[in-house]
């Protein structure tokens, strides 16, 4: 899977910048290694950029700078994507955004590759057992994406994530659980690439992240308290696909007053049961390995 872009050590985030129409704040960019790639890989890189930019779209010059491709090459690729309805050019800004065919293909793929259907029964049971809100997080490159949630039956519900929310691996409980479970080399590579963003945007020191990763590896689950949302504690445990690759994580989140040591001990057992149930279900899904690369 091609990375969306390469971050240098001092980089930060994708959100909004004025420089050359970028949708990025404070990011140092190294061009994508697309010089020797064919048109499919280049087109896929542009689609990923437009998907990240969202409804506001992204300027042709921004995509050229990020990918390292000449403006003329990006223009030709975008014209082909527009003709195939995979991209559209927005009238007001002249930026480019994901087109209707991408949505239609996504609907078709969701029926075949939707991991949410496999995980939902375990998530619903976990929400009932813990009386807390449960989140399903899937890895997407260097990020953890919330793809589903089940509100708990408690009168006080904690909603720290929206479906579609993206955070760098290691920041939230689910992303930390995923990061901690990776093999040593991959974990260090991901750590080096996300730490700049986490430190800059969330004021979270590298040593603190290393220590939390070590605790998560030792306990086989991740716990964060007040890290993202004040007054909230979240616990996450990763799960793997049928080939033993880390696919995602399940997270339980509740207010600090309810997340006592005794209840968290119970939650750990419920999380373990939930992830085991998910992994058992995934073993019957031959597409699971492909879903992990989305």
Give the CATH number, domain containing residue 248. Answer: 3.30.450.40
Q: Given 108, 133, 161, which residue is the final one in a domain?
A: 108
Q: What is the pLDDT of residue 270?
A: 97
User: Are residues 273 and 168 located together in one domain of the fold?
Assistant: yes
Could you give the number of structural domains in the chain?
Answer: 2
User: Are residues 91 and 172 located together in one domain of the fold?
Assistant: no
Sequence-separated (6 or more) residues with CB below 8 Å from residue 293 = 1
Q: Which residues of the chain have pLDDT under 70?
A: 1-33, 35, 52, 109-111, 113, 155-158, 243, 285-294
User: Are residues 82 and 184 located together in one domain of the fold?
Assistant: no
User: Are residues 140 and 280 located together in one domain of the fold?
Assistant: yes
User: Are residues 164 and 60 located together in one domain of the fold?
Assistant: no
User: Are residues 20 and 50 located together in one domain of the fold?
Assistant: yes
Half-sphere exposure of 20 (CA within 13 A, CB side): 12
User: Are residues 241 and 276 located together in one domain of the fold?
Assistant: yes
In a domain, 1, yes or no: no
Q: What is the pLDDT of residue 37?
A: 81
Residue in 100, 96, 7 with CA at minimum distance from that of residue 54: 96
Q: What is the pLDDT of residue 201?
A: 81
Q: Given 52, 76, 108, which residue is the final one in a domain?
A: 108
Q: What is the pLDDT of residue 111?
A: 67
User: Are residues 168 and 228 located together in one domain of the fold?
Assistant: yes
User: Are residues 27 and 125 located together in one domain of the fold?
Assistant: no
Q: What is the pLDDT of residue 51?
A: 78
Q: Which long-range contacts (CB under 8 A, 24 or more apart) does 200-208 make?
A: 200/12, 200/13, 200/26, 201/12, 201/13, 202/171, 202/227, 202/228, 204/171
| Cα–Cα distance measured from residue 161 to residue 253, given in angstroms and rounded to the nearest whole number | 10
Q: Given 78, 108, 138, which residue is the final one in a domain?
A: 108
| Cα–Cα distance measured from residue 92 to residue 260, given in angstroms and rounded to the nearest whole number | 52
Q: What pTM does this model have?
A: 0.61
Domain range holding 82? 6-108
């Amino acid at each position: 899977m091609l990375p969306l872009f390469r971050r240098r050590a001092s980089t930060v985030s994708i959100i909004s910048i004025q420089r050359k129409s970028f949708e990025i704040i404070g990011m140092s960019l190294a061009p994508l290694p697309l010089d020797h790639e064919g048109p499919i890989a280049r087109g896929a890189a542009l689609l990923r950029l437009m998907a990240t930019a969202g409804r506001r779209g992204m300027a042709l010059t921004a995509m050229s700078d990020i990918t390292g491709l000449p403006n003329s090459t990006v223009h030709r690729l975008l014209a082909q994507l527009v003709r195939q309805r995979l991209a559209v050019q927005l009238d007001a800004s002249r930026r480019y955004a994901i087109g209707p065919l991408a949505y239609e293909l996504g609907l078709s793929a969701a029926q075949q590759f939707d991991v949410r259907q496999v995980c939902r029964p375990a998530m619903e049971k976990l929400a009932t057992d813990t009386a807390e809100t449960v989140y399903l997080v899937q890895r997407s490159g260097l990020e953890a994406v919330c793809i589903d949630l089940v509100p708990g039956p408690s009168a006080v519900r904690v909603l720290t994530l929206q479906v579609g929310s993206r955070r760098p691996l290691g920041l939230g409980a689910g992303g930390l659980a995923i990061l901690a479970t990776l093999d040593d080399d991959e974990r260090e590579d991901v750590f080096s690439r996300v730490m700049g963003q986490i430190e800059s945007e969330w004021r979270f020191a590298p040593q603190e992240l290393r220590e939390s990763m070590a605790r998560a590896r030792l306990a086989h689950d991740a716990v964060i308290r007040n890290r993202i949302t004040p007054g909230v504690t979240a616990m996450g445990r990763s799960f793997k696909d049928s080939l033993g690759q880390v696919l995602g994580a399940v997270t339980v989140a509740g207010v600090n007053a309810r997340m006592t040591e005794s209840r968290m001990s119970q939650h750990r057992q419920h999380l373990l049961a939930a992830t085991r149930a998910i992994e058992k279900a995934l073993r019957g899904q031959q597409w699971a390995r492909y879903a992990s690369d989305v």
